[in-house]
Amino acid sequence: MNKMSGQHALVTEGKAKAEAARKAAVLYYAESQTMAAISKKLGVSRSTVSRLLAYARKSGIVQITIRPPFSSESVLTMKLKQRFHVDVQIVDVESTLSQNRLLQVVSKVAAGALDQMVQSGDTVGIAWGNTTSEVVQHLPSRDLGGVSVVQLNGAVSTTSSGSAHVGFILSQAADRWNANVIHFPVPAFFDKADTKKAMWQESAVKRVLEYQRKTSVAVFGVGAFKGEMPSHVYSAGYLSTKEVYSLSKGGVVGDVCTVLLKKDGTWRNIELNKRASGPNPAMLARIPRRLCVVAGPAKAEALLAALNAGVMTDLVCDRPTAELVWKLANRAK
């Protein structure tokens, strides 16, 4: 057997397994049939049925959502939707979870939400960061046609190219969707606004900017100055200690796509944003679906700024963070 025929056989085998898993899932979850009945109907053993159902869950054929009964959480969801005009999914978590574990739990839910948004032919914009790095690892594999994954903001700093961190995020998403990757190898922040302006005239950069303009789905986190897991922008040398102090004193609470935000969501009057490579809130607003993922109350103030800026259409966050955001929003009134 030559290499091409071997690859074809593997693809065919994979499709057959996926179809068998789908049939087993429909019988088990939709029709409530027993494992014994499914085994008899499909002509396979019970252990095979069990493996098919496990595969259906792992591959994303089956997605299980556990929702709490009508409670303060569901009321909070409606309040946030009405106040900020976004679709909100609040993840119920245990208060004892570590920040690492909390990020994993929230990211897994967000990955399911993101995967449902992405269809064949979409251009998906991804902003790098600790959160999106976790989200892409939980994406199910789907062989979509004509999908492109584009980096939304530069990652080069004075100490690092940022290529390893960003490359991992983009490659993970591309592998899950069999997508084309478009990198954006520019600084996160330019030294001078004029340098950025000149760079934006280069044909190679224009090509990436055009992909960004065609983005139909975007996913990003929210950077915050404080927290148990400091945001990559503030912990990896992208800004000096002096700059971070100055921004904090000036009312900046965080960023989205490395564009800095004040508590009320304003960003235009922040000088450093003229040198930022990421899309500002006005540019993000042109993208039809924009998923923001946030884990941990330490990011509540930055998340409120992002909500005030109108950068998202969809939000996935944990309940403690959502509760604190609502308190802060009402305190600011």
**Residue 11 pLDDT level (bands cut at 50, 70, 90):** very low
pLDDT of res. 173: 95
Q: Which residue has the tokens 């074809």?
A: 8
145 shares its domain with 191: yes
Question: Is 66 among the domain residues?
Answer: no
- Residue closest to 172 by CA, chosen among 141, 202, 195, 147: 141
35 shares its domain with 166: no
81 shares its domain with 32: no
Question: Is 65 among the domain residues?
Answer: no
Does 224 or 218 have the greater pLDDT score? Answer: 218
We report the CATH number of the domain holding residue 50 as 1.10.10
178 shares its domain with 85: yes
Does 60 or 87 have the greater pLDDT score? Answer: 87
Q: Mean pLDDT across the stretch 94-110?
A: 91
77 shares its domain with 178: yes
Asked if 208 contacts 153 with a C-beta cutoff of 8 angstroms, the reply is no
301-313 per-position pLDDT tens digit? 999 999 999 999 9
Q: Which residue has the tokens 């600011």?
A: 332
102 shares its domain with 46: no
CA distance linking residue 108 with residue 102, whole number of Å: 10
CA distance linking residue 62 with residue 21, whole number of Å: 9
* The two structure tokens encoding residue 61: 């054929």
Asked if 298 contacts 235 with a C-beta cutoff of 8 angstroms, the reply is no
164 shares its domain with 295: yes
Q: Which residue has the tokens 């400091």?
A: 230
Question: Is 176 among the domain residues?
Answer: yes
Question: Is 78 among the domain residues?
Answer: yes
Question: Is 189 among the domain residues?
Answer: yes
82 shares its domain with 29: no
Q: Record the pTM.
A: 0.79
**Residue 193 pLDDT > 70:** yes
268 shares its domain with 166: yes
21 shares its domain with 115: no
Residue that is last in its domain, among 31, 59, 87? 59
Q: Which residue has the tokens 């004509």?
A: 146
We report the CATH number of the domain holding residue 240 as 3.40.50.1360
Task: Report the sign of the C-alpha dihedral through residues 221, 222, 226, 232, in that order.
Answer: positive
Asked if 272 contacts 190 with a C-beta cutoff of 8 angstroms, the reply is no
pLDDT of res. 255: 94
CA distance linking residue 101 with residue 81, whole number of Å: 26
**Residue 42 pLDDT > 50:** yes
**Residue 182 pLDDT > 80:** yes
Q: Mean pLDDT across the stretch 183-201?
A: 94
**Residue 10 pLDDT level (bands cut at 50, 70, 90):** very low
277-332 per-position pLDDT tens digit? 999 999 999 999 999 999 999 999 999 999 999 999 999 999 999 999 999 999 86
135 shares its domain with 202: yes
Residue that is last in its domain, among 36, 59, 82? 59
Question: Is 64 among the domain residues?
Answer: no
* Domain encompassing residue 12: 3-59
Q: Over the Cα atoms of the chain, what is R_g?
A: 22
Q: Count CB atoms within 10 A of the CB of residue 84.
A: 17
Asked if 296 contacts 323 with a C-beta cutoff of 8 angstroms, the reply is no
Q: For the chain, what is the domain count?
A: 2
Most confident by average pLDDT, 19-23, 57-61, 74-78, 202-206: 202-206
Q: Mean pLDDT across the stretch 102-120?
A: 95
Question: Is 16 among the domain residues?
Answer: yes
281 shares its domain with 252: yes
Question: Is 104 among the domain residues?
Answer: yes
How do beta strands 217-220 and 180-182 pair? unpaired
